[in-house]
Amino acid sequence: MRRTQVLVAGGGPVGLAAAVELGRRGVECLVVEPRATVSHARPRCKTVNVRTMEHLRRWGLADRLRDRAPLPRGFSTDVVFCTSLVGRELSRFTGVLGLAAQGGRFPEVGQQAPQYVLEELLREVVLGLDTVTVALGSRVSGLVQDADGVTVRLDDAESVRADHVLGCDGPRSAVRGLVGADYVGEHALRPNFGMVFRAPGLAERVPHGPAVQYWTVNPQAPALLGPLDPAAGTWWVITFGVDRATGERDGAALIDAAVGSPTDAEVLSTDPWTARMQLVDRARVGRVFLAGDAAHLNPPFGGHGLNTGIGDAVDLGWKLAAVLQGWGGPGLLDSYEAERRPVQDRVVKAASENMRTLSGDLVADDLEADTPAGDAARRLAHQRIQDMKSAEFHALDLVLDVGVAGSPVVADGAGDRLPHAWLPDGRSLYDVLGAGFTLLTPPGFASGSLVDAFARRGVPLATAPLPSGDEALLVRPDQHVAWRGGHPPADPLSLVERVTG
Ligand SMILES: Cc1cc2nc3c(=O)[nH]c(=O)nc-3n(C[C@H](O)[C@H](O)[C@H](O)COP(=O)(O)OP(=O)(O)OC[C@H]3O[C@@H](n4cnc5c(N)ncnc54)[C@H](O)[C@@H]3O)c2cc1C
């Protein structure tokens, strides 16, 4: 029987990210993915957030993603609310979605890129890793686990034996069903209808200037749209409250209504969807772990689903590598749910809150009127939009405050993401971290006993100086602080044991 260390079910963005994290750490993986090629029909995620960009930077891929993104870095950091794409502006947010730098808070700004661009990049990277094999055109259909491993059936034929399985196979996850886990939570009632359309020259007709999102507030087509690929003249649009049948029948008319003028748009693809707010009842069953959409679903407002899944993949990736390489203990695998569930839960709640006010909820009389009543209506709309939508576009605390405080594998008082800083020589503090743990020490810190303890347990540890401060920071492979202190701990070995589970 074919053997692998980790079988990754699903080569979507989350499965591929897990394979990058594992494969770069020398873990042998098999990624099983039914789709031979990445489709461009459903761009879905456009917001690759700051935290995902930090991981891409760690993998050496941040610039490669930016080079391929149809919207260049710096294209715009604005979201505009307007009565229609060519109509009156109601309100505007700038510096949205982590697209603008904030001093040294993070080393990479976010990037707008269609999901398929990220997936194609990750596919290419995974195919280039010696440790990873990709079985395209294949799917997981069965799974049985015992004390020593998991036997996975592919396409009801071939079987593969793996030490661990990652179920990254999306909302309809076969793996989730096979281990008896289930989503818990709610479905929204309102349908939404997404489209990609081509309308060359449309961007030049927009009086509001470039923006990454335009929310159109009118009763005919309350919608959200944005440029997909300016060179190709393509756009994405979500029309709210539109079911599949209506969308397929009236797509072009809905686009014209959102634009506020005839466009002669060519609809290239359609994507009907309904928001879901769900978390699995268990994300781990023995040697099988669920990650990404297979484990949690949230409304897309704020752009969190894929990004949260990448966070899952990173968390599982380094921990499984540590266990398979002999320096991580069982507690590390137990910590996956303990650390990720609170993050996933926060994201589901925040995204649900973002969904409470959509374009249709902002429609009011007189928004386009050239009268004092129109001015008053627009002032009121502006205020409502600022009050109701600001949190959606300025959510860096949610994105970056991915702390794992309270985790069983960090010391008391630790768990935050390492605060980022630019070093005096211009490098990012993140770029000096090792692949394993890193001990960052301020001047005069006697690190000998800690370094010895890591060496005695065979746990990879890099050291680097901190230019300022009076505390040393022990940083995990995922850039979280596992311990901090002005002096080495009294019992360094027990610290090493705690942080390696
Ligand atoms: C309109 C919309 C906009 C969105 N915008 C954003 C955004 O801006 N930011 C963001 O972060 N997220 C966004 N999302 C969410 C994002 O699209 C998902 O969270 C993301 O695709 C999840 O990735 P995944 O790899 O977990 O799952 P998927 O992308 O669903 O991938 C799962 C993979 O598993 C494969 N598979 C299925 N069955 C099997 C099987 N039996 N065996 C093996 N493989 C299998 C599938 O072929 C697929 O490739 C948006 C979603 C929607 C609907």
Confidence check: pLDDT of 230 > 80 = yes
Confidence check: pLDDT of 156 > 80 = no
Per-residue confidence (pLDDT) for residue 404, from 0 to 100: 75
List the domains of the chain with CATH numbers.
Answer: 2-71+107-185+277-354 (3.50.50.60), 429-499 (3.40.30.120)
Per-residue confidence (pLDDT) for residue 210, from 0 to 100: 97
Give the model confidence (pLDDT) of 340-358 as tens digits: 999 999 999 999 999 999 9
Ligand 1 atom having least distance to the Cα of 46:
8
Q: How far is the CA of 310 from the centre of ligand 1 (A)?
A: 11
What secondary structure does DSSP assign to 190-258, as a single string? Answer: EEEEEEEEE-TTHHHH-TT---SEEEE--SS--EEEEEEEGGGTEEEEEEET--HHHHHHHHHHHHHHH
Q: If pLDDT is split at 50, 70 and 90, which confidence band does 413 have?
A: confident
Per-residue confidence (pLDDT) for residue 405, from 0 to 100: 77
HEC string of 321-342?
HHHHCCCCCHHHHHHHHHHHHH
Per-residue confidence (pLDDT) for residue 191, from 0 to 100: 97
Confidence check: pLDDT of 267 > 90 = yes
Per-residue confidence (pLDDT) for residue 401, from 0 to 100: 75
Summary mean pLDDT of the chain: 96
Confidence check: pLDDT of 468 > 90 = no
- Indicate whether residue 43 lines ligand 1 (CB < 6 A): no
CB 263 within 8 A of CB 256: yes
Per-residue confidence (pLDDT) for residue 209, from 0 to 100: 97
Ligand 1 atom having least distance to the Cα of 292:
26
Residue 469: C-alpha distances to residues 110, 207, 258, 299, 415 (Å): 28, 49, 53, 41, 18
Across the range 94-101, mean pLDDT stands at 97
Across the range 243-254, mean pLDDT stands at 97
- Rg (alpha carbons) of the chain, rounded to whole number: 24
Q: If pLDDT is split at 50, 70 and 90, which confidence band does 403 have?
A: confident
Q: How far is the CA of 323 from the centre of ligand 1 (A)?
A: 27
Helices (H) and strands (E) in the chain, counts: 13, 22
State what percent of residues in the chain have pLDDT above 70.
100
Across the range 106-118, mean pLDDT stands at 98
Across the range 453-473, mean pLDDT stands at 95
Per-residue confidence (pLDDT) for residue 205, from 0 to 100: 96
Put residue 187 in one of left, alpha, beta given phi > 0 → left and psi -120 to 50 → alpha.
beta
- Tell the residue nearest (CA) to atom 53 of ligand 1: 44
Q: Can you tell me whether residue 20 is helix, strand or coil?
A: helix
Confidence check: pLDDT of 402 > 80 = no
Ligand 1 atom having least distance to the Cα of 168:
26
Q: How far is the CA of 45 from the centre of ligand 1 (A)?
A: 9
CB 10 within 8 A of CB 264: no
Put residue 254 in one of left, alpha, beta given phi > 0 → left and psi -120 to 50 → alpha.
alpha
- Tell the residue nearest (CA) to atom 20 of ligand 1: 306
Q: Which candidate, 395, 358, 365, 396, places its Cα nearest to that of 380?
A: 365
Per-residue confidence (pLDDT) for residue 467, from 0 to 100: 79
- Indicate whether residue 170 lines ligand 1 (CB < 6 A): yes
- Indicate whether residue 153 lines ligand 1 (CB < 6 A): no
State what percent of residues in the chain have pLDDT above 90.
97
Distance of CA 422 to the CA centre of its chain: 24
- Indicate whether residue 272 lines ligand 1 (CB < 6 A): no
Give the model confidence (pLDDT) of 308-325 as tens digits: 999 999 999 999 999 999
Across the range 33-44, mean pLDDT stands at 94
Ligand 1 atom having least distance to the Cα of 297:
19
Q: How far is the CA of 170 from the centre of ligand 1 (A)?
A: 5
